[in-house]
Chains A and B, each alone.
Chain A
Amino acid sequence: MSTQSLFIPFSTIVIKEVSRFTRIWVQTILPPAISMTLYFVIFGGLIGPRIGTMNGFDYIDYIAPGIIMMSIINNSYANVVSSFYGAKFQRHIEEMLVAPIPNFIILAGFVTGGIVRGLMVGAVVTVVALFFTNLQLHSFTITFAVVLMTSIVFSLAGMINAIFANKFDDISIIPTFVLTPLIYLGGVFYSVDLLPEFWQKVSAFNPVLYMVNAFRYGMLGESDISIVHAFIMLIVFTITLLIISLQLLSRGVGIKS
Chain B
Amino acid sequence: MSALEIKNLNKVYSNKFAALKGIDLNVNQGDFFALLGPNGAGKSTTIGIVCGLVNKTSGTVKVFGHDIDTDNDAAKACIGIVPQELNFSQFETCLRIVLNQGGYYGIKRRIAMERAEKYLGKLGLWERRNECSRNLSGGMKRRLMIARALIHEPKMLILDEPTAGVDVELRRSMWDFLIELNQQGITIVLTTHYLEEAESLCKNIAIIDHGKIVEDTSMKQLLSKLDKETFFFDLVDPINTLPDLNGLKSKLIDPTTVEIEILRKDNINQVFDVFSNNNINVCSMRNKSNRLEELFIDLLSNNIKTD
Provide the bound-state CA to CA distance between A149 and B196, in Å: 59
Interface residues in A197-214 by Cβ distance below 8 A to B read: none
Interface residues in B47-61 by Cβ distance below 8 A to A read: 48, 51-55
Kindly provide the distance from the CB of A142 to the nearest chain B CB, expressed in whole angstroms. Answer: 36
Q: Is A94 interfacial (CB 8 A cutoff)? A: yes
Query: Does the CB pair B100–A12 fall under 8 Å?
Result: yes
The interface residues of chain A, by DSSP majority, are classed as helix
Query: Does the CB pair A257–B106 fall under 8 Å?
Result: no
- Residues of A contacting B108 in the complex (Cβ-Cβ under 8 angstroms): 8
Kindly provide the distance from the CB of B226 to the nearest chain A CB, expressed in whole angstroms. Answer: 36
Instruction: Name the interface size band of chain B.
Output: 20 to 34
Question: Which segment of A97-105, A157-165, A235-243 sits at the interface?
Answer: A97-105
The interface residues of chain B, by DSSP majority, are classed as loop
Instruction: Name the interface size band of chain A.
Output: 20 to 34
Q: Is A91 interfacial (CB 8 A cutoff)? A: yes
Tell me whether A257 and B76 are in contact in the complex, defined as CB-CB below 8 angstroms, given that A1-B106, A95-B87, A99-B101 are known contacts.
no
Tell me whether A1 and B73 are in contact in the complex, defined as CB-CB below 8 angstroms, given that A90-B89, A257-B13 are known contacts.
yes
Q: Is A175 interfacial (CB 8 A cutoff)? A: no
Query: Does the CB pair A8–B106 fall under 8 Å?
Result: yes
Looking at A4, A9, A16, A95, the one whose CB has the most chain B CB atoms below 10 A away is A95
Q: Is A133 interfacial (CB 8 A cutoff)? A: no
Query: Does the CB pair A257–B55 fall under 8 Å?
Result: yes
Q: Is B120 interfacial (CB 8 A cutoff)? A: no
- The 3 nearest A-B residue pairs measured at CB: A12-B103, A100-B73, A5-B106
Chain A residues packing against B (C-beta within 8 Å): 1, 4-6, 8-9, 11-13, 16, 20, 23, 87, 90-92, 94-102, 252, 256-257
Given contacts A8-B107, A257-B13, 7 further A-B contacts (CB under 8 A): A4-B106, A20-B91, A92-B87, A95-B104, A96-B104, A101-B104, A256-B55
